[in-house]
Amino acid sequence: VISTVSRLFAITCILGTSSMMGPIELIAQDEEVPPAIEYRQSVMSSIASTRGLLTAVVDDEVPYRNHLLAHAVSLNRLAVLAADIFPAGSGGDNTRARDEIWEDTEEFKAALTAFQNASSELLESVYTGDLNAIQDAIGSVGRTCGGCHRPFRKPAN
């Protein structure tokens, strides 16, 4: 039996972004979390961590401007993965995902597409080297996160 930590480590290695991601935090649960939900939570945590790293770099909180491209690529790839991590039947009490994800699939797909487009625009802005454009693009990514979380994520307990 593969432990939760081993699975998370494997996921991180598969994504190829382990050196760029912050620690993965699991939501404490009273019951065992099904692997598909645990995986989704890890991907979503990776998205949040990667966005935070981008913000820290462009806000000069850390001196790693040369890491912008790697973080933007990581976020873009994670945005692609996000489209596949909400299979039917993966809602319930062990997740903050609302039932509306599966009930209003067109609106949810539109929110995911907006996030994917914003992450692509961020990646394009990094290639230009224009810091203002990069900051604006990071802000756009954040707005798409909120645009999905408000209707489709349960409040934290």
Digit-coded pLDDT (tens) for 39-67: 999 999 999 999 999 999 999 999 999 99
Q: Which CATH number fits domain 4-152: 3.40.640.10, 1.10.10.10, 1.20.120.10, 3.30.365.10?
A: 1.20.120.10
Cα 10 to the chain's mean position, in Å? 17
pLDDT, residue 157, reads 79
- Are 88 and 34 in contact by the 8 Å Cβ rule? The answer is no
Half-sphere exposure (Cβ direction) of 114: Cα atoms closer than 13 Å: 17
**Which ranges of 98-130 would DSSP assign to H, the alpha helix?**
100-103, 105-128
User: pLDDT of 77-96, one tens digit each?
Assistant: 999 999 999 999 999 988 99
What does pLDDT average to over the chain? 86
**Diameter of the chain by CA atoms?**
48
d(CA 55, CA 62): 10
The residue among 19, 93, 18 whose CA lies nearest residue 8 is 18
Band of residue 2 on the pLDDT scale cut at 50, 70, 90: very low
